[in-house]
Structure 1
Amino acid sequence: MTATSASTLPLPADWRDFLALTKPRVMSLVIFTGLCGMLAAPTGVDPVIGFVAILCIAVGAGGAAALNQWWEADLDAKMKRTANRPLPAGRMERSAARDFGIALSVGSVIVMGLGVGWLAAAILAISIVYYAVVYTIWLKPRTPQNIVIGGGAGAFPPMIGWIAATGDVTLMPVLLFAIIFFWTPPHFWALALFVETDYAAAGVPMMPVVAGHKSTRRQILIYAVLLLPIAVAPFLLELTGWIYGLSALLLGAIFLFLSIKVATFRTAANDMDMAAEKRLFAFSVIYLFALFGALVADRLILGVHA
């Protein structure tokens, strides 16, 4: 079936449609950063408790993603990038997506509280509400700063992983939160630059649509500049060792270089090509995986305790 409005009589959904609601590719990054936050903590964690914590982080993120798609079904139908999702493609009832998202969200918080701890469960609940309500319903349709403020939703997993292992919040998980928070705008705006027509067609006030490409590129560079010292801060504060410190410096330098390429004045022909933006977007994903991987390697090899 071709993309239609979400009101079209749906076909029977199968398990792949429900899986698609959880945004598996995004979930993989959530799981990875949550696991890294747990493994980087100064205390060990029981394997069963650790598994339950990561499972709840994944299920909670999937529930929030399902609620996001339930609310935005009509918008998704207007964008080529999202038109084949289960709801706009007419493969599922909107109420089924809503109920699925609520079940995953509530279930993950309850299991996290009972199996791991209520502090971790509370932060997980905040992250779900932040994404499904604050970002999706309130910020995204109203302000071009949506992804800046809403970036906090994706920054919680390493903090939750840390809390699952230690039971408390210290400076290190706050810094891990800040890294993802400042990483999100250049990562997402790089994508928004080369899918701007989708957002414009759907009436979503993303930065390139509202402020234009020049302003968006400039702000990408600003956040890349801010990200570098924040990412290096755990090493400068002696919370990590040289493996993480060197990795953060090198990865940050590459990220900054690619952001400068994006921010540099471009001709109309080059602007249509969007090669620099696509390179930055692709590297930004590698950046986060590599940086958090270095954090765990640093902890396991050097044994530095935050």
Structure 2
Amino acid sequence: MTKQALPRSLPQTGGESPDPRLTASGSLPPADWRDFFALTKPRVMSLVIFTGLCGLLAAPERIHPVLAFTAILCIAVGAGGAAALNQWWEADIDAGMKRTAARPLPQGRMHRTDARDFGVAISAGSVLLMGLAIGWLAAAILAVSIVYYAVVYTIWLKPRTPQNIVIGGGAGAFPPLIGWVAATGHISLMPVLLFAIIFFWTPPHFWALALFVKSDYAKVGIPMLPVVAGEKATRTQILIYAVLLLPLSVLPWWIGGAGAIYGISAVVLSLLFLALSVRVGLRQRTGPDDTMKPEKQLFGYSVLYLFVLFGALVADRFLPM
């Protein structure tokens, strides 16, 4: 993949008025803060922040609110830095996909090197601050999560194997583990289970999305499972992971690390997740104009699932039954 800077002028078609942001030379002005903020993938970051905060709050030990805020800030900034590095590397790919074409780099709103330097700077800063303010174990795990997403997943796995999202799913599973370690200073079985829940949640969540944007991935040559193995195999894999997620989500309750609020929530939420996955897993598309409604419902619910499940974990900690 060629890593040259994307053009800093916007294409124009006949009859359209020029983009009002263009300068007299025909180039775009320097990127503003909104472009750099967009590099951090704020929608994804919201889930990272939430699960990291839940891991911190569910831990059996409390830390000072200022330190807690600092820890969550470091998790958020580290995730944002990894996202910026992901977009720096994948700018050409993003330009070819409808879902990502409006991002700052494909639109030519900044130089690639600016995105790279921004990602490196805030990633390094988040790890350093976490180490100095919270502890070096939490900082080390944060550093691993950044490298895992920006290098292992983005550069190595994603363009090479249809199992990219399975192995790479670990990148998004780190926040509750980091939050827990930030509060306690050590790793135990409970945060490892929280990591595992997100790890097994990620494939059905992402493959549901990949099913209805398959043509985008095929166009840019990314070997996502629906592109390489086909829809039937992808639907089967979604169902398998949903089945595995059900008992795994209940394990924190089973081992005594969470109470009834979490346990009941995990059972109900995971059964509904499984039911939606069965609809997707056993479904046969009727044609190219199929609306893919079940797949979109599963994708939307999967995001809600993680928010509510981890919210129940925190509620269980502060509202014991």
- TM-score, length of structure 1 as denominator length: 0.96
Please tell me whether the aligned partners of residues 73 and 88 of structure 1 are also in contact (alpha carbons under 8 angstroms).
yes
Please tell me whether the aligned partners of residues 6 and 74 of structure 1 are also in contact (alpha carbons under 8 angstroms).
no
Q: Does 1:93 align with 2:111?
A: yes
Distance 1:196 1:272 in 2: 13
Q: Does 1:18 align with 2:61?
A: no
Corresponding residue for residue 196 of structure 1: 214
Please tell me whether the aligned partners of residues 6 and 73 of structure 1 are also in contact (alpha carbons under 8 angstroms).
no
Counterparts of 1:245-256 in structure 2, within 5 Å, are 245-256=263-274
AA matched with 1:177: F
Please tell me whether the aligned partners of residues 120 and 160 of structure 1 are also in contact (alpha carbons under 8 angstroms).
yes
Could you tell me how far 1:270 is from its partner in structure 2?
Answer: 8.4
Counterparts of 1:210-229 in structure 2, within 5 Å, are 210-229=228-247
Could you tell me how far 1:266 is from its partner in structure 2?
Answer: 1.6
Distance 1:254 1:222 in 2: 15
Q: Secondary structure at the match of 1:205?
A: coil
Distance 1:141 1:213 in 2: 19
Which whole-Å deviations, capped at 9, do the CAs of 1:233-279 have from their partners, x for residues lacking one?
01111111100000000000000000000011324238722000000
Distance 2:183 2:251 in 1: 22
Corresponding residue for residue 114 of structure 1: 132
Corresponding residue for residue 66 of structure 2: 48
Counterparts of 1:123-138 in structure 2, within 5 Å, are 123-138=141-156
Q: Secondary structure at the match of 1:219?
A: helix
Coordinate RMSD, CA, aligned: 1.2
Please tell me whether the aligned partners of residues 6 and 77 of structure 1 are also in contact (alpha carbons under 8 angstroms).
no
Match of residue 238, structure 1, among 247, 251, 256: 256
Corresponding residue for residue 6 of structure 2: 7
Please identify which structure carries the higher helix content.
1
Which whole-Å deviations, capped at 9, do the CAs of 1:163-217 have from their partners, x for residues lacking one?
0000000000000000000000000000000000110111000000000000000
Instruction: Decide whether aligned partners of structure 1 residues 71 and 267 sit closer, same or farther in structure 2, where only a CA change above 3 A counts.
Output: closer
Q: Does 1:81 align with 2:99?
A: yes
AA matched with 1:92: M
Could you tell me how far 1:7 is from its partner in structure 2?
Answer: 2.2
Match of residue 37, structure 1, among 55, 80, 97: 55
Distance 2:267 2:309 in 1: 10
Corresponding residue for residue 174 of structure 1: 192
Structure 1: runs of 5+ lacking an equivalent: none
Distance 2:320 2:208 in 1: 35
Please tell me whether the aligned partners of residues 5 and 113 of structure 2 are also in contact (alpha carbons under 8 angstroms).
no
Please tell me whether the aligned partners of residues 250 and 263 of structure 2 are also in contact (alpha carbons under 8 angstroms).
yes
- TM-score, length of structure 2 as denominator length: 0.91
- CA radius of gyration, larger in: 2
Please tell me whether the aligned partners of residues 228 and 253 of structure 1 are also in contact (alpha carbons under 8 angstroms).
yes
Corresponding residue for residue 297 of structure 2: 279
Distance 2:5 2:94 in 1: 9
Q: Which has the higher contact order (CA 8 A, sep 6+)?
A: 1
Instruction: Decide whether aligned partners of structure 1 residues 89 and 270 sit closer, same or farther in structure 2, where only a CA change above 3 A counts.
Output: closer
Percent identity over the alignment?
72
Distance 1:162 1:270 in 2: 46
Could you tell me how far 1:286 is from its partner in structure 2?
Answer: 0.3
AA matched with 2:146: I
Please tell me whether the aligned partners of residues 6 and 88 of structure 1 are also in contact (alpha carbons under 8 angstroms).
no
